[in-house]
Amino acid sequence: MKRSTLLFGCLALLVLPSVAWALAVPVTVTLDMPNQALSAPTSGITNLIFTGTVSLAQGWQSGGATVENPFNNSKSSFLSANIDPAFLAWNGFGSFTGNLFDVTVPAGTPPDFYGYGFLSNNPPNFTESAFLASQPQGNAPSINGNFVSAMAPFTVLVNAPATGVPEQGSTLLLMGASLAALGVGRWLVRPVLRGI
């Protein structure tokens, strides 16, 4: 009985580390603000910057990142998404925190919810892929678990362009015109009140 317990204990010590390694998530992607909203610009373009963290487990290296263009539900309009140059400059080991990608919203963009991928009704994704650093990137088959990907969905809500706030000069002009109208109205009403 003691030998079987000892044998089982030794076997557990050999198997558990490999099970823990197999269950570890080698790549994670977290977006700080995955759902963003803005008013459509009336001129030029606005870039929405998506920040977050990409983490790779020890022994894993970045295999590249992709970002989908977000579409509206009818697929009649989309926004352009681009990987940030700072993220592209990352060496691909450990973790990266900062600007991951941006979404360009040009003037004239129809107000809508841009939360759909091109080929599905699922949200668009930022995807980071990783491979075992000892495995050559070109030979990293996905069937044996040496190549993995993690995705983070995101959405953009484009509202109608904001209406302009009156300038200070026009506000003063409007207030002056209102006071003048009140004065004229009082001057016209005064003779009527005297006759009562």
For the stretch 98-143, pLDDT in tens is: 999 999 999 999 999 999 999 888 999 999 999 887 655 555 444 3
Contact 78, 69 (CB under 8 A): yes
Please report the pLDDT score of residue 76 as a whole number.
94
Please report the pLDDT score of residue 16 as a whole number.
43
In this predicted structure, the answer to whether residue 85 has a pLDDT above a threshold of 60 is yes
Cβ-defined contacts of 185-194 (< 8 Å, 24+): none
Please report the pLDDT score of residue 162 as a whole number.
77
Please report the pLDDT score of residue 133 as a whole number.
76
Q: Which residues contact 116 (CB under 8 A, 6 or more apart)?
A: 70, 71, 72, 73, 75, 122, 123, 124
For the stretch 7-18, pLDDT in tens is: 444 444 444 444
CATH class of the region 26-164: mainly beta
For the stretch 89-107, pLDDT in tens is: 999 999 999 999 999 999 9
Strands 147-153 and 80-83: unpaired
